[in-house]
Amino acid sequence: MSADRPVSSGPRVLVADDDPTIILLLEHALQGMGRSYDTADDGDEAWTAWERERHELVVLDIEMPKLDGLEVCRRIRAADTGRKTFVLIVTGRDKAVDLEAALSAGADDYVTKPVTGPRIIARLRIAQRRMADDDARRKAEDELGKAKYMAGIGETSIALQHEINNPLTGLLATAELMLMEAKENGQPTAELKTIIDQGRRIAELVKRMSELTEPSSVPYSDQAKMLDLKKPS
């Protein structure tokens, strides 16, 4: 497999085909588009390369030694749960059943042979646009999820401030009065001081929750996490 091609911006591409003519055609097309790329001569090599680099665009010939393109595509789809890799299948089979098999394996698009420069460039540019659209959609979904999460924290914080702070204020005031009386009467104060300290700690935690701007989670148990409310260092 070749690597460290002349590079530029944009996601790295994997080209997998055992036909040197197709490889050369794709290399010229990708160089013209300013894309860096790796190549693989068979399906096994292609799968190993993708596992290592997680290329965002893969151009796969269906008929390759060791593993065919459909099997490589299936493996990528099984491992790429977020569907971040765009798979373009190159096939000499143009029957509907063959193209359906490519799409069923998880291919995003296909181009049929004979492959020409203009045709493959057109498919690669379509892949680029779709990848950009998918990336923008994922970012928008992430932002929406974060906004909903923050809204949930805000609502929870308001509820906690109302349901906890109000009675907590009364509890602390009573405990402090009792502490003053205990001191005046020469009675033990350690337990009252503990109550006051823990009450103030609860009030501080509720306050920190209301001030969260970048919430994060920390491990709580083997299978659970909790909101990180530790005081910033």
What pLDDT is attached to residue 73? Answer: 92
What pLDDT is attached to residue 219? Answer: 78
What pLDDT is attached to residue 74? Answer: 92
| Across 148-152, average pLDDT | 66
| Across 219-225, average pLDDT | 72
Cα–Cα distance, 140 to 130 (Å, whole number): 15
Cα–Cα distance, 47 to 55 (Å, whole number): 11
| Across 39-62, average pLDDT | 91
What pLDDT is attached to residue 4? Answer: 41
| DSSP structure string for 9-55 | SS--EEEE-S-HHHHHHHHHHHHHTT--EEEESSHHHHHHHHHHH--
Per-residue pLDDT band for 31 (boundaries 50, 70, 90) equals: confident
* Mean pLDDT over each residue of the chain, to the nearest integer: 80
Least confident stretch, 17-31, 145-159, 166-180, 201-215: 145-159
Per-residue pLDDT band for 44 (boundaries 50, 70, 90) equals: very high
In the structure encoding, which two tokens stand for residue 152, read together?
């949930």
Domain parsing of the chain, residue ranges: 13-115, 145-227
Paired with 163 in beta bridges are none
Which has the closest alpha carbon to 26: 9, 39, 10, 43? 39
Cα–Cα distance, 89 to 101 (Å, whole number): 11
Please check the confidence at residue 89 and state whether its pLDDT lies above 70. Answer: yes
pLDDT digits (tens, 9 = 90+) for 67-81: 888 999 999 999 988
What pLDDT is attached to residue 88? Answer: 92
| Across 197-209, average pLDDT | 82
What pLDDT is attached to residue 10? Answer: 44
Please check the confidence at residue 215 and state whether its pLDDT lies above 70. Answer: no
| DSSP structure string for 154-217 | HHHHHHHIIIIIHHHHHHHHHHHHHHHHHHHTT---HHHHHHHHHHHHHHHHHHHHHT-SS--E
Fold of domain 13-115: Rossmann fold (3.40.50)
